[in-house]
Structure 1
Amino acid sequence: KNGGIEKGLKAVLDENARVAKFGFTATELERAKQNFGSDVERRLKEKDKTSSQTLAMEYMYDFVGDETSMGIDSYARFVKAELPGITLEEVNALPKTLLTKENRAVIVMAPEKEKATLPTQAQLLAWIDYTPENLTAYVDEVVSKSLLTSLPKSGKITAEKPLPEINATELTLSNGVKVVLKPTDFKNDEILFTGYSFGGTALYDDFNTARFTNNLVSQGGVADFSSTQLRKYLTGKVVNVSTFINETAEGLSGSFAPKDAETAFQLMHARLTLPRKDEAVIQGFLTNLKDEFEQNQATPNPQNVFRDTLTAVMGGYHPRRMPVKPSDVDKINVQKAYQIYRERFANASDFTYFFVGNFKVEELKPLLEKYLGSLPSQKKKEAYTDLHIRPLEGQVSKSVFRGIEQKASAQFIYSGALPYTPENAINLTAIKEILNIKLVEEIREKESGVYFIGASASAFKLPEPRYTLAISYGTSPGRVEELATKTLDLLEHLKITGPSQTDVDKFKMESKRQLELQLKDNQYWMNHLVTSHQYGQSPQEILQQMKRIDQVSKESVQSLAKKVLGSNCVKAFLLPESKQ
C-alpha cells in the first residue's frame, strides 16, 4: 500500500531502538528459557526415536560447518547447566552491540509492476537514518489466571468396546461423545488427536461468512485470554489445539506431550465452548485479509491464477469454487460468524474423537470424562451434505496467459466415478507410482525437457465414490505442446499394453517398505482411523493392506488404467503473456 514500505521499516527500527534502550523484561527472558528448555527436553525424550535423516544431517553439519556434534545427551546436560545462569543483564547487553547502523542491509522485494513506485536508494538511506523518539519501555502483561474458571459436571464412560486387532479401544461418554484410543510407542513424547462431526459450511447459504468463520473467531483467543496471552500461558508446554470448520465437517485437531495432557484437554474444552470476541483484533484481521486479496488482484501471481482456474474448472464453476474477491471481505457478517461457530460446536454427541500416541488408556479416561464428557449435548446427528459440486465433464482445455517469465506449466487431470474399494484404491496408487517412474524416465531423463514432473491420485467415497488422477510438469514455453503429446502418449501406452512387470515389482517392493514405516507412525494411524470412520469402514481393514499390495498385477493395473484414463480430462496450460 502507499507509504507502507516506509511505515513498516520505521516500525521495525522503533522496536530495535526500544530493545536497545530498555532491553527485554525478566518475564520475557523466563518464558524464552522455558520454551528453549522444553524443546531440548522433548528431543532428549525422543532420542531413541530419532530418524536416520536427522542424524545424518547433524553429522553433515559437523563435517562441513564449524559445529561439533555433541549428541542430545551431552547437549541436554550442557543446556541444563548453562541455561539457568543466563542473566537479564547479559541478554540486554547484546542488542546494543548487534543492532547498530554499521551492520544492517535493507532489501525491498515487490512485484515487477510496482517498480516505478518503489523508493530510491537515497530514500531508503534517509528512512533508516532517522532517530526514533518518544519511546517507552515495553510492558509485559503476565498471565496468572486459569484457563477454565469453572467446569460443568463431569460425564461418565457408559460403554467400552475393545478393538484388539488394532490395539485400540472405543469409548462412549454419557453425553454421546465417541472416543477411539490407540496407544503406541512410536514416539515417546507425542499424543495426536482429532475430533470431528459432519456439518461444516455446506449447511449455510451465507457461504462467504461461513468460510471465514473459523479463522475470524480464532483470532480472538479463548475465555479471558487473548491470542497473545494464550501463547504466554502455554510457555514451556507442548500443547497445540486448533479448531477447523471446512465444507463438510467441523472439529478439533492437534497434539500434546503426555506431561501436558490436562492443559491440552482444558484448551480443547475452552476452544469449543468459550470463543473470545475482540473487536479490535477482528477489524485488524479483516483489514489485513482485504489488503491481501487487493494485492493479489492488483499484482496476480501467475501460479495462483493458474491454481484458481483449475479449482473453478474442477468445481464446475460453482460459486463456492470461485476465487475470493476483495469485496467478499466486506460482506463478512461478524455476528453471524460467531453464531455459526457456536452452532457447529454446540452438540458434543455428534462428535467422534481419536487419540493416537504415548498414553495409557486408564490414565486418559478421567480427562475424557471431565473435559469431553462435560461438553453440551443435543443428542442429535448431522449427516454429510452433498452440494453436488463436480468437475466439468468431457475434454476440457484451458490456457492461462500470465507473467513475463519464460516458463510454462501443464496439468492433465482425469476424474470420474469409481467404486470405493480397497482393490481400486491400491491399484490407483499403483498407477500413480508407475506413472511417476515412467514420467521421470521418458520425459525428464530422455527428453531433458522439464523442470519438474509427477503424478498424483486420490480415491474418495464422499460425497460419492470418485477419483482424480493428475499429471503436472513445468517446462519452457516452446516445448509445452511437444511434451504434452509425449506425456499423453505415455498414458495411452499404459492403457493399451499395461505396465511392465519390472515397474509393478518396483511399486510393490517400495509400497511394502513404506507400509512397514507407516504402521509405526502416529499420523498415519490417525489419518487411517479418521478416514475409516468417515467412510463407515472397519479400521481393521488396514491389516489387509500388505495382502492388497501383493495382489497388484500387470492385469489389475491395466484394467483400472483403462477406466480412469478416460474421456473426462482437463488439460490446462500456464504460459507467459508473450505467447498469447
Structure 2
Amino acid sequence: YEKQYNERNNTKSDALGQELIRHFIDNEPAPGIEIEKQIVDMFLPQLTVDVINGIIKDVMTPENQVLVVSAPESFSLPTKEEMLGVVNDAMTREYEAYVDEVITDPLITKYNKAGKVKSVKENSQFGATEYTLSNGVKVIVKPTDFKSDEIQLVAVRDGGKQIYSTSQADNVQLLESAYETAKKGNFDNKTMTKYLAGKTVSLGYSMGSYTDVLQGKSSVKDFETMLDMVYASFCQLGDDKAAYDADASSSRAMLANQEKNPMFTFQKKQVNTLYNNPLLDIISTDNIDKASYPQMMTMLRNVFANAADYTFIIVGNVNQETLQPMLEKYVASLPSKGKAVAPKAVTQMGAVKGIVDEAFDQTMQTPLTVVFDCYNGMMNYSVASDVMVDIFGDILSNVFTETIREEEGGSYSPYAYAYFNVNENRWNLVEVIQTNAEMRDKVMARANEETLKLMKNGANADQFNKVREAALKQFEINERTNSYWVNGLMRNVRGIDTMTGRRAAIENLTLEQFNAFINTLWNGENRVKVVMTGVEEGK
C-alpha cells in the first residue's frame, strides 16, 4: 500500500481500469489509494496474532476442504485415509509460536577507504550526469520522475559467455545460481532474506553472451541498501556450498520433471539447433551434476575483481545532492586496476550459418506439432533499420493471424516477431506455429509463402499504418519508463546508440522506404527451422 500510495500520480491506466471493473462487476469498493492507505494504517495495528488465529479457526474446518494430489504416473498415490490423516495431524498438532528473527547486524562491518569523485560532466544528449571516480569507475546518473519511489541500477562490463571455452559450459550455466546462493557481507542467503524483510530492494547478477551485468531496483529510502549489496558483491562474496547444493538439488528435481515435458524438449532442441553452442544451451540436470562449485566461485571473484571494467548506470528518483558521498563510499572504494581491461573473446557467439532443417517426432499424451523458423542475416546497425525490422515482424504476425488462423484454420495463435541483435549486427525474424500433424505441411507451406510474398511485394498501406501507429504509441509508453533509459544507456556506453532519433525514425518512415528495406533484407543464406511432430503415446 505504501508503494502504491507513493506512486499514486504515476499509476497506469490499465490498473485503474481493472479496479473500476472489479467495482462494477464484483461490487468491490474503489475509494482510491489515498483512502485505502488510511484504512490500512488504521486497522493494521489492530490485527494481533490472536485476531489472525481466530480468523483461521473459522476458515479452516474439516467440512470445507478439497484435497488434490498431482503426481507422475510412476508415483504411488496415497489413499483417502492417508490423506485425511495427514490433514488431521496438521490441524490438531500443538505448535510453538513462531518467533521472527529480526536482523539488526549490518550487512558490511568494515569498508575499504572511501574514494573520490574526480570529475563531473553533463550529458545533454540524454539529460544525464557522468561521474568519473578515483578508481576508474564511470557512473551515469539520469534523474527521472516517471516513478516517485523507484531507482534502478545497473553495473555492466564487456565480457559474458564469449570469454569462456565450451569446456567451461557447465560452470557458466550455473554461475548465476552460485552468485545467488553465495554469502554476501556478513549474511548467508537465508539471513539476507530476513535482513531485507520490509525493504523494497533487489539485486542480481546475470551473464549474457557479451556482458556481465549486476542489476537492481529499490525504493528511494532503500537505495543505500542496494549500494551496500553492490559493495558486498565486489568485496565480500563468500562461499556457501551448502546453500548452493540445496538450490542445485531443488533445481535438479524441477528439471527432471521438465525434461519429461515435450515443450521443454522442443525448446532445448530449438536452442541447440540455432546456436550449436553448449554455453548457450538451456540448463540441464547434466550441467548441475558436472559443475564445479570451487571453480564457479573463482570465476565470480574474477568477474568482480576490477570495478573499472564496469560502468554504473543509475536511473530514477535520484537526489544528486546526497548521491555523491554515497558513490564515494560504496563505489569509488571498490577494488580496481585503475582502468578497464578489454576482454578476450574465446568462443564465438551467435546463430549457426546456412540453411538448417531439424525435424523429430516426440511422444505425447495429446499430440501437437510445433514449428520454429528463424530467418537471419548480417547488417550494420542503425536506429532506422532497428525500427523497420521490428515493424516487419509485427506486420507478418498480423498476416499470419489473417491467413494461417482465419483462412486455413491451421493454428489458433501463430505469431512472428523480428528484432535486431545489436551485439552481432544481425537481424532475426522468428516464426512460431502450433498445429497438428495433419495440417503441418499445409501450414508450413502457407507460412513460407506469406513470408516470402511480404518480402518481395511489400506491405500494403493498411498493414503498414496500423503497425507503425502502434509502434509509435508503444515508444511513447516505453520512453516514460526507467527501464527504457537503463537499457538504452547500457547499450550506449558500449558504443551502440539505440535511442537517438528513434521517435523520428518511426514518425518519418514511409511505406515506400519500408518495402524497399524488406525487399532486400534476406539473401536466402541463413535460415534455421525446427519442427517437432507429436506422436500419441503407445503408437
Offset, 1:108? 1.8
Three-state SS of the structure 2 residue aligned to 1:250 is strand
Q: CA deviation at 1:51?
A: 0.9
| Cα displacement string for residues 306-339 of structure 1 (whole angstroms, at most 9, x for unaligned residues) | 1111101111x23334454434323222112211
Aligned residue for 2:315, secondary structure, equals strand
Residue number in structure 2 paired with 1:45: 6
Residues matched between the structures, number: 533
Alignment gaps of 5+ in structure 1: 1-39
Judge conservation of contact 1:198–1:384 (CA < 8 Å) in 2: no
Asked if the contact 1:431/1:557 (under 8 Å) is kept, the reply is no
Find the aligned partners of 1:126 and 1:42 in 2 and give their Cα distance. 43
Query: What's 1:364 paired with?
Result: 323
| TM-score normalised by structure 2 residue count | 0.92
After superposition, where does 1:295-306 map in structure 2 within 5 Å?
Answer: 295-297=257-259, 300-306=260-266
1:481–1:446 distance in 2 versus 1, CA, 3 Å: same
1:452 is displaced (CA, Å) by 0.9
Task: Tell me, yes or no, if structure 1 residue 497 matches structure 2 residue 436.
Answer: no
The answer to whether the Cα contact below 8 Å between 1:499 and 1:554 also exists between their aligned partners in 2 is: no
Equivalences for residues 348-387 of structure 1 within 5 A = 348-379=307-338, 380-383=340-343, 385=345, 387=347
CA deviation vs aligned residue, 1:278-308 (integer Å, no higher than 9, x gap): 34322212322333333344xx211111111
Match for residue 560 of structure 1 among 518, 523, 526: 518
Match of 1:521 in 2: 481
Q: Which residue of 2 aligns with 1:575?
A: 533
Residue 200 of structure 2 is aligned with which of 221, 238, 249?
Answer: 238
Q: Which residue of 1 aligns with 2:269?
A: 309
After superposition, the C-alpha distances for 1:365-394 in whole angstroms (9 at most, x for unaligned) are: 221111111111013413363622443433
Does residue 96 (structure 1) correspond to residue 57 (structure 2)? The answer is yes
8 Å contact kept, 1:217–1:277: no
Distance in 1 (CA, whole Å) between partners of 2:45 and 2:265 is 51
**2:401 matched to 1:440?**
yes
After alignment, is 548-557 or 497-506 more displaced?
Answer: 548-557
Distance change >3 Å, CA 578–CA 234, structure 1 → 2: closer
1: CA distance, partners of 2:127 / 2:261: 48
Matches within 5 A, 1:19-168: 40-111=1-72, 113-114=73-74, 117-130=76-89, 136-168=96-128
Residue in structure 2 matched with residue 283 of structure 1 by the alignment: 245
Question: Helix, strand or coil: the match of 2:431?
Answer: strand
Question: Structure 2 CA distance, aligned partners of 1:384 and 1:519?
Answer: 34
Q: Is the 8 A contact 2:162 2:349 kept in 1?
A: no
> How has the CA–CA distance of structure 1 residues 440 and 327 changed in structure 2, closer, same or farther, with 3 Å as cutoff?
closer
Q: Distance in 1 between matches of 2:432 and 2:289?
A: 36
**CA positional deviation for 1:204:** 3.6
Instruction: Give the secondary-structure state (helix, strand or coil) at the position aligned to 1:481.
Output: helix
State whether residues 62 and 68 of structure 1, in contact with CA within 8 Å, keep that contact through their aligned partners in structure 2: yes
- Note the alpha carbon deviations across 1:98-121, whole angstroms, 9 max, x for none: 34433322212234x43x633344
Q: Provide, for residues 496-529 of structure 1, a one-character-per-residue CA deviation record: whole Å limited to 9, x for no partner.
A: 2111122222222222222222221111111111
Report 1:456-471 matches (<5 A).
Answer: 456-462=417-423, 464-471=424-431
Give the residue type in structure 1 aligned to 2:278: P
- Following the alignment from structure 1 to structure 2, what is the Cα–Cα distance between the partners of residues 229 and 321? 32
Q: CA deviation at 1:77?
A: 0.8
TM-aligned CA deviation for residue 139 of structure 1: 4.1
Shift of 1:67: 1.6
2:249 matches 1:259: no
Call closer, same or farther: CA 1:230–1:392 in 2, change over 3 Å: closer
**Structure 1 residue 451, shift from structure 2 partner:** 1.9
1:1-20 aligned at under 5 Å gives the runs none
Residues 565 and 96 (structure 1), Cα distance of their counterparts in 2 relative to 1, 3 Å cut: farther
CA gap 1:68/1:332 in 2 versus in 1, 3 angstroms? same
Q: Distance in 2 between matches of 1:488 and 1:101?
A: 59
Instruction: Quote the Cα distance in structure 2 between the aligned partners of 1:218 and 1:422.
Output: 35
Residue from 217, 226, 232 that aligns with 1:270:
232
Q: 1:566 to 1:228 in 2, by over 3 A?
A: same
CA gap 1:392/1:151 in 2 versus in 1, 3 angstroms: closer
| Residue 320 of structure 2 corresponds to residue 320 of structure 1 | no
2:144 alignment partner in structure 1? 184
- Partner residue, 2:306: 347
Query: Shift of the alpha carbon at 1:76?
Result: 0.8
Q: Which amino acid aligns with 1:83?
A: L
Cα separation, 1, equivalents of 2:403 and 2:523: 19
Change (3 A) 1:479 1:554: farther
Letter in structure 1 aligned against 2:199: K
Would the alpha carbon gap of residues 559 and 526 (structure 1) be closer, same or farther in structure 2, given more than 3 Å must change?
A: same
User: What residue is the counterpart of 2:388 in the other structure?
Assistant: 427
Corresponding position of 1:334:
293
Looking at structure 2, the residues matched to 492 and 231 of structure 1 have their Cα atoms a distance apart, in angstroms, of 53
Distance 1:557 1:525, change over 3 A: farther
Q: What's the % identity of the aligned pairs? A: 26
1:249 maps to 2:208: no
- 1:92 shift after superposition: 3.1
CA 287–515 in structure 1, closer or farther in 2 if over 3 Å, else same: closer
- Contact 1:162/1:170 (CA < 8 Å) preserved in 2? yes
1:527-577 Cα shifts (integer Å, max 9, x gaps): 11112222x1347x5245324541343343343343237342222222212
Coordinate RMSD, CA, aligned: 2.4
Q: Which amino acid aligns with 1:267?
A: M
1:410 to 371, 374, 378: 371
Normalized per residue, the structure richer in helix is 1
Task: Tell me, yes or no, if structure 1 residue 487 matches structure 2 residue 447.
Answer: yes
What letter is aligned with 2:454?
Answer: L
Seen in structure 2, the aligned counterparts of structure 1 residues 552 and 313 have a Cα distance that, compared at 3 Å, is farther
Distance 2:174 2:188 in 1: 19
Query: Matched residues in 1 for 2:41 and 2:127: separation?
Result: 37
Report what 2:467 is aligned to: 507
Change (3 A) 1:59 1:544: closer
Q: Give the TM-score normalised by the residue count of structure 1.
A: 0.86
SS at match of 2:493: helix
Are the equivalent residues in 2 in contact too, given 1:414–1:565 (CA < 8 A)? no
Aligned equivalents of 2:283 and 2:124: distance in 1? 47
For 2:164 and 2:457, locate their aligned partners in 1 and report how far apart those are by CA, in whole Å: 49
